[in-house]
Structure 1
């Protein structure tokens, strides 16, 4: 099984199969608009600008499970990301990354790459690096800056 088996939703609820990203490395991130780590959007956008033309796909999934740090209205989330951080990489509908209602994609990601002490996601901006074949190759802690994983990304391009 690979990430290509999963379908996600755009903010407008349109369904997207991750198979549409086949052959391209991906960085999948659970994001939040009102978090101390929110400035990581700048680094994610820079990676998108620097490596998007080589195939890198950054996929952002807003999540409100950590201290309610995401807007209730997905339109506010999208506007916040674009206006404040110039985000032009794909952002999707809000998801749950832990608990009984965990989105199936994040359940899969966590099973493939456990965190330091458990498989649960501890905070916003946990990152999963996916290779061109759809395999989860690495998981990064929320505090790991996008810039610090650039070499791992280049190795997959």
Structure 2
């Protein structure tokens, strides 16, 4: 059973069709839509501010989602894939985004729809990532536009994670 904790009177909430791995941690003011998946060792810590997550978003192994006390909640849209060991902190991630393995998104950054944050990239505080763009590096900079293939990959990956969750026996 996942570690689910109420903090300051606020309990995490999610739709019944979400998959939550047994060793995931979800605490405090967290709300998730339908068909989300939270994988092994992921941590979603809504203890100091709110975290809102849309539908069919996957939070892969070892991801940390947090916020900044009284300053920055975390808002994640639908059809978002947050790959292994990424850190998403006090920022806004719009719909149809792919955040690569080990990427870091800092406070008040905004990741617009259809974008990709490359593996290992660091999106500095306050950065605004253009829609339909690929950002890479430290600090992350735009390297190119997401073409039709990458846009379809973002959709494919987000759609696959609920299917993967169905493979696990309850």
How would you bin the TM-score normalised by the shorter chain? under 0.3
Structure whose residues are more often strand by fraction: 2
- TM-score, normalised by the number of residues in structure 2: 0.24
Higher relative contact order (CA closer than 8 Å, sequence separation 6+)? 1
Q: TM-score, normalised by structure 1?
A: 0.25
